[in-house]
């Protein structure tokens, strides 16, 4: 029997052949299709495409500043392309208009762009820590070259892109690795962690409250509330006093609309002896609350806001981790490993939820890169790569570059440093003695304590946006389909 004839090769197949070294033959069908598309866009105008960007990162990583700088600099780009010239479409003058767009009535609250810009520009003040989820939408007009013969005759076509970005409290990111973890497993891991320094001393009151309890006893509201409160206090002290990052559940530190919800009354609890908890017991009630917590996280945070994204940027502040000592660094490292595992395309949380089949590869960015001079920013990106592994690009970024590079004399040696205005006035220089390590440093490295200054934010020029380092390169890596 005769075999069916192969399908005529389309444009994509031909392009692949051409890449493989074969000669590309003009394809009249693909050319005609592309030309028709270009003509249709020219006559009817293109429908707006929505591109969703997830900007994630632990608490204080720099998400809100990043989103603000992204908006300010993209909105300024059509007037002055120089600052975002790392985006090919901007450099070539093809991004012709960018403005803030509205949200539909059923959408999340609007990202407070105006107040963030006003704080940065008017009072040179950083935005407040984020306490709830908000969304920013930008509408972009980008001229894209039209393919095909007729496309070339017609010239570039106008593409309308709606870029949506979600901002949320960093603490919530750590709820992501909890999905798929049982109450038993979570409790066992957290109870063990709480025995180690520097957690143990901060956990004393909560563990004291646990000590005399029988997990099989009937659940009483007052006991549930007392334990949850003691555990929340422990998490808060770990964050505020010891600079720790791996603190779950995230809503205990930042409940937003869940404040006071009964299902927040739980904490890690040892499995009762014999392993079979009675119905209505303290243990069974706390497990039910934990399960409800995860169900609500899925239904109200992950599924509606985080599942259908086209690009993801993960921001990491390595300076805070390096400056707060070995324990804080190890803790950030574990938190990042958990997050990197949850974000990986295969078997990650999206796959587990069955929400998206092909999540984009994350772009990891080490933030606040203006804390080190240019010669050390490569090391900063290398340290991040060492921590998150090979899944995704790694870059160093400062969404708001506050410093300038300088050199100083330190005990007879010339050191490269950065210099800037610190919050509240005054100039200060800062440097890491010995530079940024490219792998987890030795315990001796951490013996030297660093007091990291908070620099005042740079001025915003409405025509040009904010001074940054690599913001354009991070966006180019995350959104090539918009800005190539
Ligand atoms: N030098 C410098 N500091 C920065 C930069 N970006 C952020 N910061 C500092 O880091 C702090 C935290 O930044 P945010 O953007 O608010 O962090 P966040 O990730 O939104 O934090 P949460 O909302 O608490 O999750 C700011 O208040 C600044 O002090 C930067 O590019 N350079
Ligand atoms: Mg924030």
Which ligand ends up closest to the CA of 58?
1
Average pLDDT over residues 219-247: 95
What's the pLDDT at 351? Answer: 66
Higher-confidence residue of 448 and 346: namely 448
The DSSP secondary-structure symbol of 312 reads E
Average pLDDT over residues 410-423: 91
Higher-confidence residue of 74 and 435: namely 74
Pick from 85-94, 270-279, 300-309 the range whose average pLDDT is largest. 85-94
Cβ atoms of 168 and 133 within 8 Å: the answer is yes
Higher-confidence residue of 78 and 106: namely 78
What's the pLDDT at 38? Answer: 65
What's the pLDDT at 349? Answer: 65
Tokens of 203: 């956990």
Q: How confident is the model at residue 10 (pLDDT cuts 50, 70, 90)?
A: very low
State the residue for tokens 């709480």: 194
What's the pLDDT at 3? Answer: 39
Q: Which of 57, 64, 430 to mutate to test the pocket of ligand 1 (most atoms within 8 A of CB)?
A: 64
**Does any ligand 1 atom lie closer than 6 A to the CB of residue 55?**
no
Alpha helices in 199-298 (DSSP H): 199-211, 221-242, 250-253, 282-297
Task: Indicate the average pLDDT of the chain.
Answer: 87
Q: Is the pLDDT of residue 84 over 60?
A: yes
Higher-confidence residue of 319 and 20: namely 319
**Does any ligand 1 atom lie closer than 6 A to the CB of residue 81?**
no
What's the pLDDT at 24? Answer: 45
Average pLDDT over residues 281-294: 97
Strand partners, 159: 142
Higher-confidence residue of 34 and 204: namely 204
CA of 160 to the centre of ligand 2 (A): 28
> Ligand 1: which residue has its CA nearest to atom 30?
368
Tokens of 266: 């739980």
Compute the CA torsion angle 168, 171, 177, 181 (nearest 10 deg): -120
CA of 285 to the centre of ligand 1 (A): 38
Share of the chain above pLDDT 90, in %: 63
**Does any ligand 1 atom lie closer than 6 A to the CB of residue 396?**
no
Nearest to 142 by CA among 98, 94, 99, 100: 94
Provide the terminal-to-terminal Cα distance of the chain, rounded to the nearest Å.
48
In ligand 1, which atom is closest to the CA atom of 400? 31
Average pLDDT over residues 267-292: 93
Sign for the pseudo-dihedral over CA of 27, 32, 35, 40? negative
Angle formed by the axes of helices 326-343 and 374-388, nearest 10°: 60
From edge to edge, which strands make up the β-sheet containing 427-430?
403-410, 413-421, 427-430
In ligand 1, which atom is closest to the CA atom of 423? 29
What's the pLDDT at 11? Answer: 33
What's the pLDDT at 225? Answer: 97
**Does any ligand 1 atom lie closer than 6 A to the CB of residue 57?**
yes
**Does any ligand 1 atom lie closer than 6 A to the CB of residue 170?**
yes
What's the pLDDT at 356? Answer: 55
In ligand 1, which atom is closest to the CA atom of 128? 16
What are the pLDDT digits (tens) for 348-385? 666 666 665 567 888 999 999 999 999 999 999 999 99
What are the pLDDT digits (tens) for 116-145? 998 888 778 999 999 999 999 999 999 988
**Does any ligand 1 atom lie closer than 6 A to the CB of residue 404?**
no
What's the pLDDT at 424? Answer: 79
CA of 99 to the centre of ligand 2 (A): 22
Q: Which of 54, 65, 452 to mutate to test the pocket of ligand 1 (most atoms within 8 A of CB)?
A: 65
Length of the chain: 484
Tokens of 387: 């921590």
SS3 content of the chain, % helix, strand, coil (to 5): 45, 15, 40
What's the pLDDT at 34? Answer: 65
Run of H or E residues at 121: helix 113-122
**Does any ligand 1 atom lie closer than 6 A to the CB of residue 466?**
no
Domain ranges for the chain: 27-173+308-484, 174-302
Measured CA to CA, the distance from residue 337 to residue 387 in angstroms comes to: 7
Which ligand ends up closest to the CA of 68?
1
Q: How confident is the model at residue 422 (pLDDT cuts 50, 70, 90)?
A: very high
> Ligand 1: which residue has its CA nearest to atom 3?
368
Nearest to 400 by CA among 454, 450, 452: 454
What's the pLDDT at 14? Answer: 32
**Does any ligand 1 atom lie closer than 6 A to the CB of residue 370?**
yes
What's the pLDDT at 135? Answer: 95
Q: Is the pLDDT of residue 212 over 90?
A: no
> Ligand 1: which residue has its CA nearest to atom 23?
130
Q: Is the pLDDT of residue 448 over 90?
A: no
């Amino acid at each position: 029997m005769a075999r069916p004839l192969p399908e005529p090769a389309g444009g994509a197949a031909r392009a692949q052949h051409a890449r493989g070294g074969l000669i590309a033959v003009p394809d009249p069908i693909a050319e005609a299709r592309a030309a028709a598309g270009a003509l249709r866009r020219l006559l009817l105008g293109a429908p707006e495409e929505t591109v969703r960007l997830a900007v994630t990162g632990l608490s204080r990583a720099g998400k809100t500043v990043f989103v603000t700088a992204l908006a300010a600099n993209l909105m300024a780009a059509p007037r002055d392309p120089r600052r975002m010239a790392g985006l090919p479409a901007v450099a070539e003058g093809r991004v012709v208009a960018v403005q803030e767009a509205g949200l539909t009535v059923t959408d999340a609250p609007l990202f407070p762009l105006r107040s963030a810009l006003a704080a940065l520009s008017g009072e040179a003040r950083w935005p407040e820590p984020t306490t709830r989820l908000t969304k920013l939408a930008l509408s972009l007009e980008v001229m894209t070259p039209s393919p095909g013969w007729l496309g070339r005759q017609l010239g570039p076509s106008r593409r309308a892109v709606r870029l949506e970005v979600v901002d949320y409290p960093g603490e919530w990111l750590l709820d992501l690795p909890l999905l798929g973890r049982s109450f038993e497993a979570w409790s066992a891991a957290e109870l063990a962690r709480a025995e180690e320094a520097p957690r143990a001393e901060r956990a004393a009151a909560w563990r004291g409250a646990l000590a005399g309890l029988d997990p099989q006893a009937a659940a009483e509201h007052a006991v549930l509330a007392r334990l949850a409160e003691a555990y929340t206090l422990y998490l808060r002290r770990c964050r505020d006093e010891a600079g720790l990052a791996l603190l779950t559940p995230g809503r205990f530190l930042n409940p937003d609309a869940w404040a006071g919800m009964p299902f927040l009354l739980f904490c890690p609890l040892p499995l009762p002896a014999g392993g079979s908890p009675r119905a209505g017991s303290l243990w069974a009630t706390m497990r039910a609350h934990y399960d409800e917590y995860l169900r609500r996280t899925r239904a109200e945070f992950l599924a509606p806001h985080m599942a259908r994204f086209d690009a993801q940027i993960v921001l990491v502040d390595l300076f805070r981790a390096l400056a707060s000592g070995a324990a804080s660094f190890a803790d950030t490292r574990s938190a990042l490993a958990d997050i990197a595992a949850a974000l990986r395309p295969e078997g990650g949380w999206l796959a587990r939820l069955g929400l998206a089949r092909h999540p984009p590869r994350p772009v990891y960015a080490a933030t606040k890169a203006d804390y080190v001079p240019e010669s050390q920013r490569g090391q900063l990106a290398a340290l991040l790569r060492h921590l998150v592994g090979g899944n995704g690009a790694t870059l160093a970024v400062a969404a708001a570059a506050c410093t300038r590079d300088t050199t100083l004399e330190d005990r007879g040696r010339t050191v490269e440093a950065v210099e800037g205005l610190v919050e509240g006035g005054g100039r200060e220089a800062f440097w890491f003695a010995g530079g940024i390590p490219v792998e987890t440093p030795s315990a001796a490295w951490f013996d030297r304590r660093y007091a990291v200054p908070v620099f005042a934010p740079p001025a915003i020029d409405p025509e040009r946006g904010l001074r940054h380092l690599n913001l354009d390169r991070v966006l180019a890596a995350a959104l090539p389909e918009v800005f190539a």
